[in-house]
Structure formats: C-alpha cells, structure tokens
Amino acid sequence: MSSLHTRLLLAATCILVVFIAATGLALDHAVYERTLHAERDKLQGLLYAVLGAAELDSDDVLTVALAQLPEGRLVQPQSGLYALLLDATAEVVWQSPSLLFPAPRVVAPAVGHWRFQNVSKTGFGPVFVLSFGIRWLGEDAGGRRYTVVALEDRTDFDAQLRQFRTNLWTWLIGAAVLLLVTQLLVLRWSLLPLGRLMQELRRIEAGERDTIGPSYPDELQPLVAALNAMLEHERRQRARYRNALADLAHSLKTPLSVLQGIAQSNERSSSAQRRVALEQLSRMGAIVDYQLKRAGAAGRQVLRRPVPLGPVVGRLIAALEKVYRDKTLEFELQIVPAALALRADADDLMEMLGNLLDNAAKWAQGRIGIRAERSAEQWVIQVDDDGPGFPAQALERLRERGARADTRTEGQGIGLAIVDELVQSYGGTLSAEPSPLGGARLVIRIPARSL
C-alpha cells in the first residue's frame, strides 16, 4: 500500500469502526442494565403494595383484598402483570385475577431475600419474575412461611429494547458514515500541500521554475528548505563544472601556444626553451589541479553529518609542523566550544583550512593563530600569522572570474582561489584584514543557516 492518503483513510476507518462498535456495545449494555434495574424496582414496589393489601381470612390463610390493590392491571385478565402468594409448600394460596393460566414454578427465596428472574418459557410467554420470602405472624407460634411473587410480561420490554437498539445502531452508523466523509475531506484538505509540493517538483523537473515556493505549513517547511538547498547545491555544482571547463580551456590556450611554437621551431631546442617548456607544463598542471578542485567542491548540503573541527585542525597542524620543521612554528588554537562541528563536507573543510594554514605557514615568522566560533548568525574561522602581511587588493583579484588560475603566484593564488570558491559554495565570504600578530588575518564567515 504505497498511497499515504489510502493508509491514513484506512487507519482512520479502522479506528472509527472499533470506536463506534465499542460505543454501541457499551451504550446497549448500559441501557439494558439500567432498564432491567428499573423493571426490578417497579416489581419490588408492586410487591410492597400487595403485602400492604394482604390480610388473614377466616381460615387463618393469607389473602389479598382486591379493592386495595394499587395496580388496576392486576384485576384485568391477561393484562401482562400478575401477582401470587405461595405457601411454604409452593402451593398457590392467592393469585391476581389477571392470571388465567397456571403460574410458572418459582424457586422460593429465603425469608427476607429477593430473587429476580428472567423466565423465557412459561404458558403465557417470557416474563420477569420477582419473588420475596416472608414470615407472616398470626395465631400460630412462629408465624407462617409465604412467598409473594410478581410477574410481568416481557413482550413490551423486548419490543422497546429492540426499538432502542435499532435507533442506536442507525444513528451510530449514520454518524460513522458522516465522520468518514468528514475524515476523507479533512485528509484531502490536509494533504493538499503535499500535492502542491509534488506539482512544484514536476515543474522544476520540466524547467518551468527553479525553487519551491515558501507558502507551506510549518510541518513541511524543513522539508521545503532541504529540497531548495539540494536544488541550489545541484545548480551551483553544475555552474562550477561549466565555469571550470571554460576557465580550463581559456587558461590552457597560452601555455599550449608557447609549446606549439617551441615544437614548430626549426632550431634545436636550447636549455632556455626547455626551461620555458617545463614552466608551461608545470603551469598547466597547476591550472588543471585548481580547476578540478574548484569543480569538485561539494558545497552546502542539508542532509550531512556534522564534522568536528578540532580533529581536522589537529591533523593539519601535525602535517604542517613536519613540512615547515625548519621554521619552528608555534600554533595557537582556540575553538569555542571545544566540540564545535560544522555540517560541511570533510574534504571541503580540509581544503579550506589546509590552504589557509599553508599560506600562513609560508609567510609566518614563528606564530600562527587559529580561532573558530559560532554565533547565532554565523560561523567564523580566523587564521592569523606574524608574517609581512597580506595585501587586501590581492585578495580582491580572487573574485575576478577568468583571471584566477593563470595570474596567481605560487603559494597564494591557486590555494586562496580554491578557498574563495569553496566558501562561496556555502554562501559565505573570505576576507583579509591586519592581524594582531603583525601579519595577515584571513577570515571565513559562513551564515549559520547554511551549515
């Protein structure tokens, strides 16, 4: 079952059916018990009234004066309401005029106890039977044992109960259907944003638009932001590849022309020509390396595991200490907090920090400072050195696309150009300013929302 709409509707239907069934059964049971209790109370009141009208006749046998009976149905033949008096041997000593058929056999309760029964098989149909055991004090010592019994035809009770159940389940089923229709409409309305999101994705696939619109519920905003970030990353990646290929073709034209001129020369190649050829080949290798790194920058991706900054910087410092062991460099590292982690590509992070630290190590006299921190608005990474300083206008030239690869001097141009490209791919900036150590400070600032 791949449809989210079908799953939600089926789940809601199952829950609703169970709820309606449980509610119907609970109401049916509660009403049945309450009605049964009311029937028992009614018959109990009738028996008290019969006992109030009872008296001993001339033969010292308990009988009931018909004139004192409180319920007129007791004197109407086959009215459905009956009363009996039974002696200690369960023989009938008195019965109401309403009872024309033989009375059903009744189990006599103990004196002072009630017994309520639901008897289905009698000569005049199903009845409710309530009996009460008494001892009537008369001239006999200790009194005589009697059982007073009330019976009522259950036909009306069963008919009313069937009517109630019919009404109950009719209304519950009607309510269930109404709720299902309402649930269907609510589900359709609730899933409209997903349908609209699917349509926007199809329009993006067809090239009709570039991003997903912002008008979505709060629950979908993280998904929309992630999708937009992935789309933006994919566009930037394509742009980097196109720009890298264009720059590569442009940058290789001059070195190839020089080599072509040397190859077409009729003179024997001199040592100066060989040196020029080697320089051009070295330059071409640097250009290709730069453009490949530039094109392969991962850039911002939302669904990425954070990379701890401390271990990355630690590995870079250990490597630089070996490369520049003759300079005896002192590295001052401050990471706030110590467990600071960036949601960036590990290779991108190594490339950015490696180039900045390598640049600082080349020009530093002996001290290099690294500080990284995160505020509510941005991530900041600073690299300071105590070298001769870094001209601000040189950094500005890195932003001139098409003039980067073949106009940089070794040790600054290509490395910092790569850093600048990587930082821009994360929506950040690379800037230069004077360092408190006396040299240059290179600062990477990346918006917090980008990582």
Of the segments 51-60, 243-252, 368-377, which one has the largest average pLDDT value? 368-377
Whether 173 is covered by a domain: the verdict is: no
Task: Check pLDDT > 80 for residue 407.
Answer: no
pLDDT at 25 over 90: yes
Query: What's the domain count of the chain?
Result: 3
pLDDT-based confidence at residue 230 (cuts at 50, 70, 90): confident
Here the CATH number for the domain that contains residue 124 is 3.30.450
Q: How far is CA 12 from CA 15, 16, 23, 99, 182, in A?
A: 5, 6, 16, 55, 11
- Whether the per-residue pLDDT at 401 is higher than 50: the answer is no
Q: What distances in angstroms separate CA 74 from CA 115, 151, 160, 331, one per listed residue?
A: 21, 10, 22, 112
Mean pLDDT of 74-89: 88
Question: In sequence order, what are the residues at sequence separation of 6 or more whose Cβ sits closer than 8 angstroms to the Cβ of residue 404?
Answer: 247, 290, 397, 398, 413, 414, 417
If you average pLDDT over residues 357-361, what whole number do you get? Answer: 90
> 320 and 273 share a domain?
no
Percent of the chain exceeding pLDDT 90 equals 24
Instruction: Note the pLDDT of residue 404.
Output: 40
Closest listed residue to residue 302, CA positions, set 394, 406, 385, 426: 426
pTM of the model: 0.51
- Asked if residue 88 is part of any domain, the answer here is yes
| Residue with the larger pLDDT of the pair 113 and 57 | 113
Q: Could you report the per-residue pLDDT of 384-394, keeping only the tens digit for each?
A: 999 888 666 66
Range of the domain at 8: 4-159
Shared domain for 284 and 311, answered yes or no, is no
Q: How confident is the model at residue 123 (pLDDT cuts 50, 70, 90)?
A: low
Q: What is the mean pLDDT of the chain?
A: 80
